Amino acid sequence: MTKLEKTKELIASGAKHFPKGMICWSGGKDSMVLLHIMRDMGIDLPLVFFREPWQPSKYKFHDKITQDWELLIYSWHPYQSAFQQEGDEWEVQNHYKVNSTILTCPTGITEPASDAKFVCALDILKRPKQHYLEVPEFDCLWIGHKGCDSDPILGGDAGTRIESRVLMEQATMMFPLRDWTHADIWEYIESNNVPYDLDRYEKLDGVWGEKVDKLHNVDYVHACTSCINRNPQSPKFVHCPKLNMTIENISSLVPWADQEKLSYMKD
C-alpha cells in the first residue's frame, strides 16, 4: 500500500465514523495537500483557519484559493496568548476554543524586515480575545501534521506519533499524513498540480523549501522583541523603535507558555 493509498483509507474510515468534521488549514504545503486529497475524495468540509490581523499582504495566496475553491472558513481570536522563547527563536502560543474543543496554534515571530511593516510583540500578545467560537455540531478535526515535523521552540522533533487522537468531550483529531515526508508532499503537489504559495516556497538545487526572508510566510509576524528578551545576556535597557525611546526590559512581567511537547508528540 502506498502512502497515498493508506492516507485515503484513513480518511475514508475517519469520515465514516466522524462525518461532521472540519479541516485545519493554514494555506501551507501540508494543509493544501490534505485539502486537495479530501476534496478529490468528494469530502467537502468547512475549514478552520487562524488568520493573523497583521501584515495582510502575506495572505494573497489564501484569498485567491478561498475564492477559486469557494471555501467555507471559520476564523476567530484566541482566548489566551503567551510568549515562548528558545534562544533567538520566538513564538506567541495562542489557545483557541471552538464549541468545547481546545486548539493551540503558535504565531512565530521573526525580525522586522526592511520592506515589511513591523509589529510590537506586545501588540501580538494583546491581540483581541474571545472566549470561544460556537459553530454547528462537529465531531472531528482533520490536521496535516506529519511525523517528521519539527519545532525549534520544542527542541526540534515535534512530529505526531499517532494517526488519531481521541479526546474526552472534545472533537477527535485525525492525522492522515503522519507517514509522509516533506519530499512526499512536494511530489504530490507537483504530480497533481496542487496550488502552492509561490511567494513563500522555492526550489533550490532540486529541493523545495521555504524562502529565508519569511516575507510571505503566514506562520510568522515581523515584530520587535527587544523589551521582552529573557536571555541571560539581554540588556536591562533597550531601544523601542515604536516609541523611539529607551525603555526597560519587561520580560519578567509578561506571560510565558509552558514549552512542553504534547503527549502525542513523545515516544
How much is the average pLDDT of 153-178? 94
Mean pLDDT of 134-150: 96
> For a pLDDT cut of 70, what percent of the chain falls above it?
99
Strands of the 220-224 sheet, one edge to the other = 80-86, 89-98, 101-110, 220-224, 119-120
- Looking at residue 248, what is its pLDDT? 98
- Looking at residue 75, its amino acid is S
pTM of the model: 0.94
Burial label, 47 (beta-carbon count in 10 A; 0-12, 13-18, 19+):
buried
pLDDT band at 117 (very low <50, low <70, confident <90, very high): confident
Grouping H, G, I as helix, E, B as strand and the rest as coil, residue 245 is strand
Mean pLDDT calculated for residue range 219-229: 94
111: closest CA among 121, 123, 125? 121
Torsion of the alpha carbons at 117, 122, 128 and 129, rounded to the nearest 10: 140
Cα 212 to its chain centre, rounded Å, is: 17
Return the pLDDT at 22: 98
What confidence tens digit (pLDDT) does each residue in 12-54 have? 999 999 999 999 999 999 999 999 999 999 999 999 999 999 8
